[in-house]
Amino acid sequence: MKILIDMNLTPDWVEVFKKEGWQAVHWSMVGDPRTSDRTIMNWARKNEYIVFTHDLDFGTILAVTEADGPSVIQVRTEDTLPLYLEKTIISAIEQYKKVLNAGALIVVDEHKLRVRILPLQREVK
């Protein structure tokens, strides 16, 4: 498993994921910190990384483009530090590893996980 950590999360997540045996890189190590979210998404897709972010734009990009990847794990908590979230995030990745490899948007908050398979379909009314 390869995880790309977005700029809005601490690089400390790299070691958390490496401890689990996963490849991890913070965007600041591979790209321009000021680049667009679309550029980050394209890089992650091309290099087969899952995007780990606190930014709502990544889910929006998946919805608008109806893309089938890359997978995104979106954190919706105020405290995004590993000390607070490490167990929750590791558990979510382990539990949904299969769908993350196939293409999914996983939203994590303090109380629940929501999983949507990619591509995200618009609701028909």
Q: Does the residue 25 lie in any domain? A: yes
User: What percent of the chain lies above the pLDDT cut of 90?
Assistant: 93
List the chain residues with pLDDT less than 70: 121-125
Q: Angle, to 10 degrees, between the axis of helix 37-46 and the axis of helix 57-65?
A: 70
32 burial type by CB count under 10 A (0-12 exposed, 13-18 middle, 19+ buried):
exposed
pLDDT digits (tens, 9 = 90+) for 10-33: 999 999 999 999 999 999 999 999
Q: Which CATH number goes with the domain that contains 22?
A: 3.40.50
Q: Does the residue 55 lie in any domain? A: yes
- Please work out, in degrees rounded to the nearest 5, the angle formed at the alpha carbon of residue 111 by the alpha carbons of 108 and 117: 40
Reduced to 3 DSSP states, what percent helix, strand and coil does the chain have, rounded to the nearest 5? Answer: 40, 20, 40
pTM > 0.85: yes
Q: Does the residue 102 lie in any domain? A: yes
The predicted structure's pLDDT at residue 122: 54
CA 17 – CA 85 distance, rounded (Å): 12
Q: Does the residue 122 lie in any domain? A: no
Give the number of domains in the chain: 1
Retrieve residue 97's tokens: 């590893």
